[in-house]
Structure 1
Amino acid sequence: MILNEQYHELAFYTLSLGDKQFIHQHLVDAYSAQMATNTTKPITILFALAGLYLMVEKDYTGKQVQLAHIQMAKRYSTPINIALPKERGSLTISDVLAIAPGKDRDAMIVQWCVSVWAAYKQVHPIIIETTHQSLGRVL
């Protein structure tokens, strides 16, 4: 299965949950950060990494990340170029889809996010600082 099909399959799954936590946002952020290329818009990479930071280190739900993205968009002005690491995490969307739908798959989405966020460790300080500035507060 090609990656685009995998993304759509997992997106259908997460959107069908109708959960208040909105785990779908975490899928979007992990996939966007992991699949970014040199032609990906800087704001896409920044927001994906900000979402992963908020989820992994600040325990934000997907809904809270979504609301933070909305607030960040209001204050976002200068794009920052983020160096893309060669390796983008030990887990991939294929690993998530290999798990049967349910709590175990949901847990694997979280592990995937942790894996992708860790792969970008060299840019953590700038992502954290930019996220705090964009949200207008210390988290």
Structure 2
Amino acid sequence: METKTEFQLFHELSFYSLAHPNKEYFIHQHVVGAYAVQHLNPETKIIKSVYGLLGLCLFLEYGFTGKEVQNVHVSLSSDKSDWPKIQYAVEPLDFSIQSIMNASEGKERDQKIREWCEEVWKTHKVNQQPIREWLIKRKVIFS
């Protein structure tokens, strides 16, 4: 049996999340954000880094749905002049998307996606406060 790469598994999970019946919640946004943030490196475009981190912050700390996160991305896209500084030396995360794919579709898999987001966000402690401050500065959240 062929072992799938994380990228292949990400695509399988994307098919699941894009076909999710709750279109208003839009869980796919959280999948994309978690994957992007888990794989950040100095070559990652700043927009991908910042949007991934802010998406996790808004989801996990402020209860935003994926659709609401997507709307914030759109509203912030007109001004890219003051990106927060992102650090890439973060805690390693030993996590495979296979554990999400092993969960039953529906509530169980959706919960695994949330747990993944939480684990990815925890590895970026160094970036959490700069992201929160940037969101306050941009009036997305209020202190």
TM surpasses 0.5: yes
> 1 or 2, which has the higher helix percentage?
1
Number of the residue aligned with 1:103: 107
User: Could you tell me which of 66, 76, 79 is aligned with 1:75?
Assistant: 79
CA distance in 2, matches of 1:13, 1:136: 29
Aligned residues: 139
User: Could you tell me which of 3, 8, 11 is aligned with 1:5?
Assistant: 8
User: Which structure 2 residues correspond to residues 1-139 of structure 1 after superposition, within 5 A?
Assistant: 1-19=4-22, 20-89=24-93, 91-135=95-139, 138=142
Identical aligned residues as a percent: 32
CA distance in 2, matches of 1:39, 1:14: 27
- Indicate the larger mover: 1-10 or 70-79: 70-79
Structure 2 gaps, min length 5: none
Name the SS for the 1:74 alignment partner.
Answer: coil
Structure 1 gaps, min length 5: none
TM superposition shift of 1:108 = 0.6
* Offset from partner CA, 1:24-73 (integer Å, 9 cap, x none): 00000000000112210111111100000000000101111110111121
CA RMSD of aligned residues (A): 1.7
* Offset from partner CA, 1:79-110 (integer Å, 9 cap, x none): 34311234344544222122121110001101
The structure with the larger Rg is 2
Contact 1:26 1:113 in 2 (8 A): yes
- Indicate the larger mover: 53-62 or 68-77: 68-77
Contact 1:75 1:135 in 2 (8 A): no
* Offset from partner CA, 1:97-136 (integer Å, 9 cap, x none): 2212111000110111111111101121101111222345
With normalisation by structure 2, the TM-score equals: 0.88
CA distance in 1, matches of 2:34, 2:8: 16
Tell me which amino acid in the other structure corresponds to 2:52: A
